[in-house]
Chains A and B, each alone.
Chain A
Amino acid sequence: MIRKSISEKASAGLPSPVEALIDRYRHNGGLRQYVVYLAFVLILATFSVILHDDGFLSSSNLLNIGRQAAPIAVMAVGMAFALAAGEIDLSVGSVVALSSLVAAEIVGNHGFLVGTLAALGASALVGLVNGLITVKVRIPSFLVTLGMLGIISGIARNWNDLQSLPIRNDRFSGMFGAGGLGPVSSLLIWTIVVGALGHIALHHLRWGRHVLSTGADRDAANAVGINTARVKISALVVSAAAAGFAGILLAGRLSIGRHDLGEDYLLTVIAAVVIGGTNLFGGRASIVGAVTGALIMSMLNNGLILMGLEVADQLIARGVIIILAVALSMREAKES
């Protein structure tokens, strides 16, 4: 009897799946959470029409967009975790270069696997230092990582006197960037893998929930016993490691390590993440949105070039888009 009444109450607390879905849609953000996908479709459609004669929809151009988006998307996944935890990582661009140089240096002598792991390890180490200084010395991460951006950029410039380091390793190049599974580029595969891992980590791992909790309300997260210092450090490590992996993808595609790889990616990555629905100030993140945001940024870049815009105009257009995206993000933060 008691059991029956409990199950009745429990089922009263759990409405039918359809009702639950509608309820979630209405109360967990409504249309706003899908804005990025709408924008993607709209921009794609617009460019398809106005740039049809310029070959926007040609398979080689679409492939090009995808290839350009891949490192941005990988970095965006990592950045989404840093932002979700209430931090930001401005050093990602320099980590891309560092990672490419470490890979180039070590792949040649010690082979593909050791080189890849060393590049990832060096990148993660940068993130660890970022995190430790942010949390232990209590300096805001935007300052710590801004300083780190300078330090790592300097190291990268000194590495080989501004010269690029060639990578002559077919397995490395085939694995990251140049090769692929049949017609599918390895860049695309890695982007999907990283995106899927990020999505699972955010939604289905304890760590992802703790990252969100820490970014949403650090005091509340502390009160339930979450080690928020460790969570923040780990988020910055993930961000740097993702940037390192983006560096590996670029190094693989170009078969070089160079000090200026990833140099101008920072704003594009942040724009991709924020357009994708991640809150710039913590507590909300979307990995699928971040990857879609990266595709949007790449598509815009490509479309603006095909439209014949000068580099200067592209910069202006990109800046406007970023400010618009951040403005949207801040308005949502106030509403919730």
Chain B
Amino acid sequence: MSAAPALVASGISKSFRAVQALDDVSIELHHGRVTALLGDNGAGKSTLVKCISGLYQPDAGRIFVQGVEHRINSSRHARELGIETVHQTLSVIDPLDVAENLFLNREHTRGGWLGARIGLLDKGRMRRECAATLARLQIRIPSLRRTVGSLSGGQRQAVAIGRAVAWGQQIVLLDEPAAALGVEQTQRVLDLIVNLRDQGVAVLLITHNMDRVLAVCDQAVVLYQGRKCAEVDVAGATKDDLVSYITGARSTDSGAGI
């Protein structure tokens, strides 16, 4: 495990017309660690994730991936840098099957040079690799040929996360991955996150659920009204601590709350 942080975002600011969504926010993600990104609705969590994953361009701030500075200008660029995102609205395509979703926009082709040019899909290879990837992540799906639209919420979520990590990506951003999931399915997703962490992946987890934070996260960054108001080790924190940061009652970053 390298000592350098997998990702550093420093001084990120982003505003939409009159609204300052993010104001000078910094965050570090480390290999083999799960970082929670907390905050109330509208605190800027999703905006920060979108800045890191290339969907938004920050107005100010710098982003370093594996120690090298990059201006991430598209989601494609972010993926090339090893950053994968599972968005709150699942980025799975209902009418495509599981294997097609897993390989969407990264399809294997056959037929050599010409096949690659016209994009002739190698469906057999994609299904085989899909099965192997899902098995490695212990994700169970009834059939890889089933359209994702016909799967349960938990299975869809598993496909989305499976896609995020299928590529040996080193940085994974998860935006509320267990929202709208049942108890058992949520546990599966949490197991999956621990699984990723143990494989050395740097994970950023956005959630409103403090039990999940305490269960799988190593550190927590809390946003309040677009600013970072706290950065704490989860090991030494209680649920009440975290909640008081989220509601703005306390703060570690400015002197006001101390």
Contacts and interface: CB of A to CB of B under 8 A. Distances in A.
Interface of A: 6, 9-10, 12-15, 19-20, 23-24, 27-28, 204-207, 209-210, 212-213, 216-217, 219-226, 283-284, 336
B235 interface: no
B121 A23 contact: no
A209 B127 CA distance: 15
Interface in B91-144: 91-96, 100, 104-105, 107, 109, 118-121, 123, 127-128, 131-132, 134-136, 138, 140-144
Listed residue (B128, B134, B135) with the most chain A CB atoms within 10 angstroms of its CB: B135
Given A27-B150, A224-B105, A14 B93 contact: no
Interface of B: 55, 74-76, 79, 85, 87, 89-96, 100, 104-105, 107, 109, 118-121, 123, 127-128, 131-132, 134-136, 138, 140-147, 149-150
Contacts of A10: 128, 131-132, 134-135
B241 to A, nearest CB: 34
Given A6-B136, A209-B100, A225-B79, A24 B120 contact: no
A212 B119 contact: no
Given A216-B94, A217-B93, A220-B90, A15 B143 contact: yes
Q: Nearest 5 pairs between A and B by C-beta?
A: A206-B119, A225-B76, A27-B150, A9-B135, A220-B91
Contacts of B90: 220
Contact of A283 (B95, B119, B121, B143): B95
A224 B164 CA distance: 10
Nearest to A219: B89
B50 to A, nearest CB: 10
Contact of A13 (B104, B123, B144, B147): B144
Contacts of B105: 210, 224-226
Given A6-B136, A14-B143, A224-B104, A204 B94 contact: no
Given A10-B134, A14-B131, A224-B91, 7 more contacts: A10-B131, A13-B140, A14-B143, A23-B146, A205-B120, A223-B75, A224-B104
10 contacts: A10-B134, A13-B140, A13-B144, A20-B145, A23-B142, A219-B91, A223-B87, A223-B91, A283-B95, A336-B149
B75 A225 contact: yes
Given A10-B135, A23-B143, A207-B119, A223 B94 contact: no
Given A224-B104, A225-B74, A216 B146 contact: no
Contact of B94 (A23, A219, A226, A283): A283
